[in-house]
Amino acid sequence: MNGYFIGLMSGTSADGVDAALVEFSPAPRLLASHFLSYPPPLQQQLLHFAAGHYQGDAVDQLGALDTELGGLFAEAALAVISKGEISKSDISAIGSHGQTVRHRPKGKHPFTLQIADPNIITACTGLTTVADFRRRDVAQGGEGAPLVPAFHHAVFSAIGEHRAVVNVGGIANITLLPAGGNAVSGFDTGPGNVLMDAWSRSCLRQPYDANGVFAASGKVDAVLLDALLADAYFHRPPPKSTGREHFSETWLTEKLATRKLPAADVMATLCELTARSIADAIQRQAPQTMSVLICGGGAHNAQLGKRLTGYLPHCMLSTTEAFGVHPDWVEAVAFAWLARETLAGRPGNLPSVTGAQRPVVLGGIYPA
């Protein structure tokens, strides 16, 4: 199915909604994009809520957040439509990831929960919306994450080159694309920006360390880095996925409790942790990798790019822009693509990535 689709994405950073209007022919072409940043009090509320810090009735608050976010996701979709200069009636559907508030794919009752009511998105835009992509994969015994590798495979794989796609959002995930092969793998490597953002909020009073300048001004502390890398998640074999539930501010505070360091050194060490855990994952799982394509907000962190280059001297590092999709919009484009797969009746998950028993058609469809 060719045509126009909209992808709406907000990841673990909870920074706001990325909206992409995409034409598939069948390769994706980004026609317009829009970022709707969350008002700071809403981001604060989401971060508290996701961390389990709330007073009062949690169900009431979840319901209200679901509705409020549904309205914001719809607003982001309408904004990207108005930038796109195409008629709304030409758009087949919206694919909305929603906002993850909890991700617990392991345990007695595994679940993952994304909110931003798709009924509201459909009602406000008049467009069919596909949403709730992850839970079908969890129902098949999978992690429900990452879901972008199928898209990375469709768009970024190349005959003759072993590639890795690295998405540095709040959490970082990688997709390993062997040359010309179908044996795609992928998993969450651990923290992307989530710990650096938490540290930036607490000591710089800024949402993030712009371009990694503060990290670059500090010195990596080897003792702290080893303590952080000792976390069992880094040593678990894939399939695996993680979130703020694990790499939380509490996790960071506990690790920092034993060590008094200048703030810049902590930032340098957290940046190093992200670089090192990504590089280790590539070297362990796909040492033949020749080319690394970076996307997500972390692509703007120059210090992180420098450290990744240091750890992967034999790889060509570039952002996905050189391969046709700007790094800020890869995930939103991926959810437009996943909506297209769903409407075409094709599976969107890769069992080799999520650990699901089989490929399944993902998402619920909310018809216009």
Q: Binding residues for ligand ADP, per CB under 6 A?
A: 10-13, 15, 169-170, 193, 197, 208-212, 296-298, 300-301, 331
Residue 11 interacts with Mg ion (CB under 5 A): yes or no? yes
* Residue 100 binding result from ligand ADP, Mg ion, none, given CB thresholds of 5 to 8 Å by partner type: none
CA distances 230 to 67, 242, 344, Å, are 40, 16, 44
* Residue 23 binding result from Mg ion, ligand ADP, none, given CB thresholds of 5 to 8 Å by partner type: none
Judge contact between 126 and 92, C-beta under 8 A.
no
* Residue 298 binding result from Mg ion, ligand ADP, none, given CB thresholds of 5 to 8 Å by partner type: ligand ADP
Question: Which is closer to Mg ion, CB of 11 or CB of 218?
Answer: 11
Shortest distance (Å) from residue 2 CB to Mg ion: 28
Q: Residue 189: what are its φ and ψ, rounded to 5°?
A: -85, -20
Question: Which is closer to Mg ion, CB of 15 or CB of 249?
Answer: 15
Binding-site string for Mg ion from residue 13 to residue 52, where x marks contact by CB under 5 A and - marks none: x-x-------------------------------------
Question: Which is closer to Mg ion, CB of 142 or CB of 151?
Answer: 151
* Residue burial 146-169, b: 16+ Cβ < 10 Å; e: rest: bbbbbbbbebbbeeeebbbbbbbb
Helices 263-285 and 222-229, axial angle in degrees (round to 10): 50
Torsion sign across C-alpha atoms 116, 107, 172, 267? positive
**Bond prior to 149 in cis (omega within 30° of 0):** no
Question: Which is closer to ligand ADP, CB of 122 or CB of 209?
Answer: 209
Question: Which is closer to ligand ADP, CB of 36 or CB of 339?
Answer: 36
3-state secondary structure of 312: coil
Judge contact between 177 and 152, C-beta under 8 A.
yes
Helices 263-285 and 302-311, axial angle in degrees (round to 10): 40
Question: Which is closer to Mg ion, CB of 6 or CB of 184?
Answer: 6
Stretch that binds Mg ion, among 4-12, 49-57, 109-117, 219-227 (CB under 5 A): 4-12
Separation of CA 56 from chain center: 30
Separation of CA 262 from chain center: 30
Shortest distance (Å) from residue 112 CB to ligand ADP: 15
Shortest distance (Å) from residue 235 CB to ligand ADP: 24
Question: Which is closer to ligand ADP, CB of 228 or CB of 270?
Answer: 270
Shortest distance (Å) from residue 95 CB to ligand ADP: 15
β-strand partners of 118: none
* Residue 142 binding result from ligand ADP, Mg ion, none, given CB thresholds of 5 to 8 Å by partner type: none
* Residue 320 binding result from Mg ion, ligand ADP, none, given CB thresholds of 5 to 8 Å by partner type: none
Write out the two tokens for 211: 């371009």
Write out the two tokens for 197: 């953002």
Binding site for Mg ion (CB under 5 A): 11, 13, 15
